[in-house]
Structure 1
Amino acid sequence: MPPNVDVLVLGGGPAALCIASELNQRGVAVAGIAPDPLDAPWPNTYGIWADELKMVGLEQLLEHRWSDTVSYFGAGGTTAQDQSYGHGIDYGLFDRAALQRYWLERADGVVWHQDTVQRLEVNGATTSVSCASGATLQARLVIDASGSRTPHIRRPDQGPVAGQAAYGVVGRFSPPPIDAGRFVLMDYRSDHLSEAQRREPPTFLYAMDLGDGVFFVEETSLALAPGVPYDVLKQRFQQRLDQRGVLITEVIHEEFCLFPMNLPLPDRSQPVLAFGGAASMVHPASGYMVGALLRRGPDMAEAIAQALVNPALGSAALAQRGWQALWPIELVLRHQLYQFGLGRLMGFNEALLRTHFATFFALPREEWFGFLTNTLPLPRLMGVMLRLFAMAPWELRRGLVLGAPATQSPTFAQSSG
């Protein structure tokens, strides 16, 4: 039976639309399967450093942009501890509808089936996809871009997957929770916590002024296995507001986020290709992915388009070309370095994390920016990590070499007031 299309993309989120649009722009016959309508609003917000978006010429997709970008790494409670660290670089928030529309327009002509995938079967030259509706579609290559929880992509079991969790509110507050016109990347001040809570893995505030009296304020954790429970994040969020005398006067939207930070790389010999979260493209050091989609999608699409010209290549061979383009050895090694660093940070207590980030953002701007965006070549990345170690105070060096102190608890106790 001949294939319906050259490439079948699974999923309907940012990763699926990105790779479908890139393939479509290269003349590849593409179709997609998504469980929801393609124009359904995306629920989560997507932030990005403006310079990262400038690299791909898409700054017009930002809905909000801040030049006043800061973090707080003190314990809080005194003027010195409340001192902000200015990042000196613009941060932006995507206009989600505009980003979705951009990819949909570039994917014009792609046929999307609203259905749920149940089973994939590779038959040499083609791959069959069986859906809940009873429909079966065939393609020379299937790309799973349906997210990190997909059952269709094989990956090694390397233990519990650490999740970065967040609870937030888009709303109106009195008084404002942060200074007008400001973006706060990390606020680690913890004077609102009890002594028992300070012995638990730390969380920080991520916040931004959206204008017109509306703010997005979110309590966030770094990666932890298991992830920090939402009720703990919500309690800490409320305690932080209470400490500063801030009331929520209107809730426009509540946000709940949990995404994997140390998901193992997929088995790159399998005959089904992946992209986005399914391909472990979430940055282990920052939790961001959209910038990587925009940078890496074109290269993978180009490799696939060139391979499809050869009619003798079946699903496995086509997938191999795609895997090689998406995860060349350079990126694999960089990913391993980031995973190693994340493993160290996951055990740090509050004081050590504050010291780490204060040291990290003291690096030259192009170095910490390149680290957080995964745009540094491997030798430069290693050099930045060595420089960070050289700049670190003794207790931080010890943590980076030996891991967390023996007294550090790796998980949350019962939430305490």
Structure 2
Amino acid sequence: MADRVDVLVLGGGPAALCITSELNQRGVTVAGVAPDPVDAPWPNTYGIWANELKAVGLDHLLEHRWSDTVSYFGAGGSTAQDHSQVHGIDYGLFDRAALQRYWLGRAEGVSWHQGRAERVQAGSAITTVTCASGETLRARLVIDASGSRTPHIRRPDQGPVAGQAAYGVVGRFSKAPIEAGRFVLMDYRCDHLSAAQRQEPPTFLYAMDLGDGLFFVEETSLAFAPGVPYDVLKQRLQQRLALRGVQITEVIHEEFCLFPMNLPLPDRSQSVLAFGGAASMVHPASGYMVGALLRRGPDLAQALAVALANPALGSEALARRGWQALWPTELVLRHQLYQFGLGRLMGFNEALLRTHFATFFSLPQEEWFGFLTNTLPLPRLMAVMLRLFALSPWELRRGLVLGFPSAQSPMFTQSAG
């Protein structure tokens, strides 16, 4: 590696590979630092609405695709209450290896250093990264794409951060846990829970038929601080399956997920840029991020390529332009609206959450889809939120305006700031 590069990217996950590949495609001299080999298999699954991928021409990166996409928002226990809410839009699961190969292929020629960035010293002109091994790397700009837990990105302290936790199993079952060929986005039916459990933070089932007798079932919480423990999620999943006479006969893969939903936006005056989870790009309303990476990575890379063409610009000036491109005022305001909404939902009990989501998915498809993918312009987003408020029953409106006291659980006391 030369004495210095234009951009040094920290991390080896989807966010790091995405921005590295986009910069590389624009002729930027870029290198990466990752704690593990960048071609090592990713442990978690990544889902996305198929139309998000179609918009960027990457439909071929899906391993599975479902047209039968539904949710359940009844309490359970009767035919009427078990009625599914049909979404009418395809959902897909990434072929993780194909997505990884796609980005690595576009990052051909990039120098990857295996190690962990221990210290990042940003100067006005050059930023120096010292790895745990003692190796020192220098760049005009460092982009931290190593995840939300990075110690190298400053952000304001706005209280406890709420996490979306999930425990899932890919496996075989004594009988199909969901309808054949179906994808279940949210199953909030709670007839498997005790009265005491219904006073605890609500959880829902996220599930899909993978074909050949394989299914993925995952018990998921919305967002709580602290996150719902994995053993609680596992117990609830087992209870849910047991009530429907389903047993797990073979566990092929267990998935444990915990990521922040209301992480404050970073201090955008700092001389180290961030991308992905480190940049608070997880959607506060849905928990999704890969679609945002695919949409926003090219624009950020293009803005940086233009700025880097000016040799007089150093770390401080380049980072400032990067932050402006990544978080323009429009996106900041939308993010704040989403965080406000999440803060309200975190105070809802399971009955109110079921009512809320049933109302939300009764909106026109283009509106709820745009809301969940963060693709609505700010005026349209505000109009959709007002429409949702108008459609909501009185008790739900009261909660959206005033919030609720922490009567149900201590976890409900946190807000999204």
- TM-score over 0.5 (shorter chain): yes
CA contact (8 A) 1:201 1:410 kept: no
CA contact (8 A) 2:266 2:279 kept: yes
Instruction: State the Cα deviation string for residues 97-136 of structure 1 (Å, max 9, x = none).
Output: 0000000000000000001111011232111111111110
* Residues 1:154 and 2:154 are matched in the alignment: yes
* Matches of 2:73 and 2:410, distance apart in 1: 21
Q: Which consecutive residues of structure 2, in runs of 5 or more, have no partner in the other structure?
A: 413-417
* Matches of 1:84 and 1:3, distance apart in 2: 60
- 1:411 match: 411
* Matches of 1:3 and 1:223, distance apart in 2: 44
TM-score normalised by length of structure 2: 0.98
Q: Which consecutive residues of structure 1, in runs of 5 or more, have no partner in the other structure?
A: 413-417
- 2:195 match: 195
Deviation for aligned residue 1:24:
0.2
- 2:182 match: 182
CA contact (8 A) 2:6 2:28 kept: yes
Instruction: State the Cα deviation string for residues 180-216 of structure 1 (Å, max 9, x = none).
Output: 0000000011111000001111100000000000000
Structure 2 letter corresponding to 1:330: E
* Matches of 2:289 and 2:43, distance apart in 1: 16
* Matches of 1:179 and 1:239, distance apart in 2: 18
SS in 2 for 1:376: coil
Instruction: State the Cα deviation string for residues 319-349 of structure 1 (Å, max 9, x = none).
Output: 0000000000000000000000000000100
- 2:415 match: none
Percent identical residues: 85
Deviation for aligned residue 1:411:
2.7
- 1:213 match: 213
Deviation for aligned residue 1:316:
0.4
- 2:320 match: 320
Deviation for aligned residue 1:408:
2.7
CA contact (8 A) 1:206 1:219 kept: yes
- 1:306 match: 306
CA RMSD of aligned residues (A): 0.9
* Matches of 1:197 and 1:159, distance apart in 2: 26
Deviation for aligned residue 1:405:
5.0
* Matches of 1:406 and 1:264, distance apart in 2: 22
Structure 2 letter corresponding to 1:124: S
SS in 2 for 1:411: helix
Deviation for aligned residue 1:406:
5.5
* Matches of 1:3 and 1:228, distance apart in 2: 46
- 2:35 match: 35
- 1:415 match: none
* Matches of 1:410 and 1:397, distance apart in 2: 22
* Residues 1:79 and 2:79 are matched in the alignment: yes
Q: Which moved more, 1:118-127 or 1:288-297?
A: 118-127
Structure 2 letter corresponding to 1:257: C
Instruction: State the Cα deviation string for residues 12-54 of structure 1 (Å, max 9, x = none).
Output: 0000000000000000000000000011000000000000111
* Matches of 1:213 and 1:152, distance apart in 2: 44
- 1:348 match: 348
Distance 1:150 1:406, change over 3 A: closer
CA contact (8 A) 1:171 1:248 kept: yes
Query: Map of 1:17-416 to 2, 5 A cutoff?
Result: 17-405=17-405, 407-411=407-411
Instruction: State the Cα deviation string for residues 276-335 of structure 1 (Å, max 9, x = none).
Output: 000000000000000000000000000100001111111000000000000000000000
Instruction: State the Cα deviation string for residues 70-100 of structure 1 (Å, max 9, x = none).
Output: 0000000000010000000000000000000
* Matches of 2:391 and 2:201, distance apart in 1: 24
Deviation for aligned residue 1:409:
2.1
* Matches of 1:392 and 1:410, distance apart in 2: 26
Distance 1:406 1:221, change over 3 A: closer
